[in-house]
Structure 1
Amino acid sequence: MNVSSNPHVARSTFGLLPDGTEVERITLQAADGLEARIMTYGASLQALLVPDTAGRRDDIVLGHDTFEGYLARRQFFGATVGRYANRIAGARFRLDGAKVQLAANNGANALHGGLEGFDSRNWRIVAIEDGDHPAVTLAYTSAHGEEGYPGALEVEVTWRLAGPMELMLDMTARTDRPTVVNLTNHSFFNLAGARSGRNILDHRLTVAADHFLAIDAGAIPLPQPPSAVTDTPFDFRAGVEVGARIRNDHPQLRVGRGYDHNFCLAPANGEPRFAARLAEPASGRVLELFTNQPGLQVYSGNFLDGSTAGKGGRLYRQSDAMCLEPHAWPDTPNRPDFPTARLSPGEVYRHTTLYRFTHANGGAIGTQSEVELPGGGG
């Protein structure tokens, strides 16, 4: 694929749903080599090409080279997750005194929107912008009662190349009656490359959080206040290799089979603030994440078990990727002590996350004019 000297957008067919509906892919491409490929199915980040310190681009998110892989098994690769990301205990909660019963799809709990969440819907394209900051906006209307959630919800997701080596994700939602909303993106990052065959245990992770939520065997937060990270394997404030303590004999690492926990971020006041940094030593790639969300789910790919062949025919195994999912705290509708996820008519839910790429010494990433990768966009 030739990288244009000017930012641009390309649009193409990526696959077909069983009923023949077209699934499109929109490629956002910048002069500095950053390229994002967005699939209408699940409003998903299907590929993200980022140069390393030598200028070589690699796709750094797990997934599939063809659409058939996404249909074969639901694994949330790069997907927009909703109406409520993460878990709600017992698949039920009360809202204004009324019981809300959801679809249970994770044991007795509701996970990532239910049996058919936003990740399983083919979103419609409502806007495409070319120019210096190319973008695509996708929309989905979630009907009142879908998966048990009250209120018709109008959702829009915008992916934009916002600046030099920056990918911005903006999500908004409006409802016609009181409901709960918690959206996130579920990309699986491996900064060495999705086809590299390397795991993420040598990635150095920084998380700007003093507390995390301890969980039970069903990954539901325990009925207690957030736990301090001090003197635990969950203290990433100064930056630690993911694998340094992941096999420590800590009860929360046992119950999560590694890291699969919500970290409690400082109040954002609606504006994105620094939440996490992920650095990979061989490529020199560094991902910095800024968000306005109250929590960050850190998941070390614990349940990737080698049963899925992904990009380049690679079998995805435990710790082959790291998910950094900004969103509301899990089970918030049942926890009045947690930051609220309620949305009322007349209000606008706003989620903003910025992914910024640099290299290990803090400088700008180099570019390469021409790189050939499988599954080229456009």
Structure 2
Amino acid sequence: MTYNVMSAPLLLCRTGAMTLYSGDLTTWTGGHRHPNDTGHAEEAWNFARAPDDHVYGYVQNADRGLRIERLGAAKKASELVGVTVAWCSRRPEDGQLVIHGWYENATVFRHPTERPDGMGFKSNVISVLFRTHADRALLLTPDQRRYPIPTREKGTMGHTDILYVEETKPELAADIRKYLSNVRGDARVPAPAPGIPPDQRGWGGGESAQHLALKLYVRDNPKCLGLGLTRKGKDEYVLPSLDGVDVVFRTAKRTYAVEVKPRNCGEAEHRRGLYQCVKYRALLEFETLDEGKKLPCTPVLVTEDPLSKAHAATAATFGIVHRQIRAPERRGRRDHF
């Protein structure tokens, strides 16, 4: 069966609220008492890319299994492929239940199974009810989580963590599908995790080897930007706002803020880079004013892949310099989970 987000079976699942869902329980708010009492929760890893490039999901109160026949599976089937799993949680600032991410073309298991990579808490391997390729796991940043899920109407979430929304509220299911299709370009897929704790200053579960290689290459080779720079830059420049800029170059008359995006990161990440450039320009100019100086800032977006025509036009409109640069291969490095 060919997967289509507009017609695929839809399942709505509720978890506690987190920033990354890559095991970062320090950001956990709301949800069940279990994570607060025990210090672990299977759903905390719902958007963590596994070594096999898949993500594995879990939802509370499903230990007796999921009724996947309500999604179109045969009565005795053990799994169903091609499901859209929409994840929602309560927004910490106002308690509103909102969609924070979703799986596309997911496999839904009738009964919980163990993660194949053996990841777990202490001696307990994390249970799995959902699986999809990591590039089909779309997560919104906390400020993008705006789609409200009703809880007081008949056939909505209420006190349940699992809603077969197709059956109970078909008009809501249709609207959710439309919403997911519209915001797909704004969502982020899980980045390869190098085995370090997530950086809570920014957005993403650590830094991939490709991102690090490109960042260090630009830092050490300022001439590659074609902007007349000769002195080595400073990487991971932390602003008073706690935003981190990949590379910063300073001259007597100007600051350059460089955001790098490695190969195969996708158009959504390029778009995010444009927004980051606009933000860094404002923050760096304000920082110098606060120090009694007045230095203009030029934002630079460096990508290994070409920008789309639309993104190139946006860069030109907002005065963002774009450079397509491919960092040399670095031998002896591997991505780590």
What is the TM-score normalised by the length of structure 2? Answer: 0.27
Q: Name the structure with the higher helix share.
A: 2
What is the TM-score normalised by the length of structure 1? Answer: 0.25
Q: Name the structure with the higher strand share.
A: 1
Question: Does 1 or 2 have the higher relative contact order (CA < 8 Å, sep 6+)?
Answer: 1
